[in-house]
Amino acid sequence: MKISVSTLGMYPAKIENILDFVTRNKLEYLEIITEYPYKFVSYDDVSSYDLGISVHAPMSDINIASHVDKIRDASNAEMVSAFKKANELGADRVTIHPGSIPVMALKFTDKILEYNINSLKYLQSQAEEYGVMMCVENMPLLERLLYTNIEALFDLVDNELHSGITLDVGHAHNNGFSVDEMFKSDSIHHIHLSDNDGSYDMHDALGTHNIDFGSIFKTLEEKKYDDICVIEVYTVHQILKSIDYLKEINVL
């Protein structure tokens, strides 16, 4: 199993310290969120480490479904920059978030959905230009976020976008989906791992709440999943606790 860790849990440590941490803990993959202070991480920074890299596009102040044209265009430009960065770093997976419904657009959600799909189709074409796979992530249960429903995301990707999906199991659990329901699409090519009790998106250490990771990894084995699973938690302590848990259940 390809187990990775996100820079989220070590933010804002220097990239060289993060790379050393990942190597020291005998992981072979790292996911870099390309926001400050990691926006300008270069190939030279990572090339001396024997690590596979994936990229998470910027999240802050981004809305690819904004009904303000300049904000939507700027958000799409940031996504394209992430594709370019992934290409430079030798990463072949880029996770992006779908858009959200602005407060002033609640009365015309159909228009926002149109903006969102148009942006995603454009971004899919740009990802192909840069030779990377765009993986759209399912969202947690928060007001106005699009694609909290994984079934809707599966339908969009499988039938319209033909891109990849980043399945965030914590987000899916927060929305009440079972393990079987989480893996109904064959377009899942990237996975984010964290734990929660279902009440909100905690991004807590694996094995601390009630997500059935045993069933998740059994399903992945049955499906012969060969892509990356990223530990995406908030602190170094939670990363280490997650690593210990994965060792306990014989995943690491």
> Looking up tokens 């059994």, which residue turns up?
218
- Do residues 157 and 136 touch, judged by C-beta distance below 8 A? yes
End-to-end CA distance of the chain: 8
> Looking up tokens 């992530």, which residue turns up?
137
For the chain, give the number of residues.
252
The pLDDT score that the predictor gives to residue 124 is: 98
The pLDDT score that the predictor gives to residue 227 is: 98
Of 80, 85, 22, the C-alpha closest to 49 is 22
Q: Which domain holds residue 191?
A: 2-248
The arithmetic mean of pLDDT across residues 133-143, rounded, is 97
- Do residues 136 and 153 touch, judged by C-beta distance below 8 A? yes
The Cα–Cα gap between 201 and 157 comes to 23
The pLDDT score that the predictor gives to residue 237 is: 98
Task: Supply the CATH number for residue 81's domain.
Answer: 3.20.20.150
pLDDT higher than threshold 90 for residue 1: no
pTM over 0.95: yes
Of 134, 102, 140, 104, the C-alpha closest to 119 is 134
Per the structure, the count of domains in the chain is: 1
Task: Please state which of the ranges 19-33, 99-113, 178-192 shows the lowest mean pLDDT.
Answer: 99-113
Mean pLDDT for all residues in the chain: 97
The Cα–Cα gap between 147 and 99 comes to 9
Q: What is the pLDDT of residues 11-67, one digit of tens each?
A: 999 999 999 999 999 999 999 999 999 999 999 999 999 999 999 999 999 999 999
Q: What is the pLDDT of residues 193-247, one digit of tens each?
A: 999 999 999 999 999 999 999 999 999 999 999 999 999 999 999 999 999 999 9
- Do residues 94 and 81 touch, judged by C-beta distance below 8 A? no
> Residue 52 is which amino acid?
G
% of the chain with per-residue pLDDT over 90: 98
